[in-house]
Amino acid sequence: MGQSTEELTTDIEHTRRDLSRDLDALHERVSPHQVIERRKQATRNKLHSMKEKVMGSAHDAKHSASASGSSAADSVSGTAHQAVGAVGQKTEGNPLAAGLIAFGTGVLISSLFPASRAEAQAAQHLVDQAKEHGQPVMDEAKAAGQQMGQDLKEQAGQAAQQVKSSAQESAHNVQSEGQSSAQHVKDDTQQRM
């Protein structure tokens, strides 16, 4: 036959607890703050991985520094030789990274010798050109960041709305289930009397 009042009450309590736990887990999963944090962490991880591929790890740099000779000439020669090897290993087929590493190595080696006036002027000219040509890239990166922020904001709003509607629907279901169970208990009690 039907369930007793105590069994129904226990079932309702279990259902409420399960529903509450599910709603808490859903809220944690679609919380705008959590969504943004997960996206930021994924971006950080990708950037760190990219940096490690292009630049090598700190361990590689330490090893390169400790492997160089004692005199300045040996040091420059050893560093240049290691840089050539590192470029081949660390760029993984990326010509832009290879170019940047080679340029950085050249700057490092040239910094050991005093610059002439013509070199200083040429360097300043290169810096000015880099700033001029780099500005569009900076603007594009800024626009991409703003677009990503806007997209995250929209997704967070949608997720919050879904959580709200799900919570309202669940509360309504619990309420109607409770009323139905109460009515069933009332009817069952009246029949037994």
Distances (CA, A) of 35 to 32, 132, 153: 5, 36, 10
Centroid of chain to Cα 101: 26
pLDDT in tens, 86-123: 545 555 556 676 677 778 877 777 777 776 788 778 87
* Region 49-74 average pLDDT: 55
Q: What is the pLDDT of residue 144?
A: 82
Q: Which residue has the higher pLDDT, 90 or 15?
A: 15
Q: Which residue has the higher pLDDT, 40 or 60?
A: 40
Q: What is the pLDDT of residue 17?
A: 92
Q: How confident is the model at residue 68 (pLDDT cuts 50, 70, 90)?
A: very low
Range from 1-5, 17-21, 27-31, 127-131 carrying the lowest mean pLDDT: 1-5
CA-based nearest residue to 34, from 168, 42, 167:
42
Each domain of the chain, given as residue ranges in start order, spans 1-30+117-193
Its sign, for the CA torsion 85, 90, 94, 98, is: negative
Q: How far apart are CA 188 and CA 193, in angstroms?
A: 9
pLDDT of residue 169 exceeding 70, the answer is yes
Q: Which residue has the higher pLDDT, 9 or 193?
A: 9
The H-or-E segment that residue 184 falls in is helix 117-192
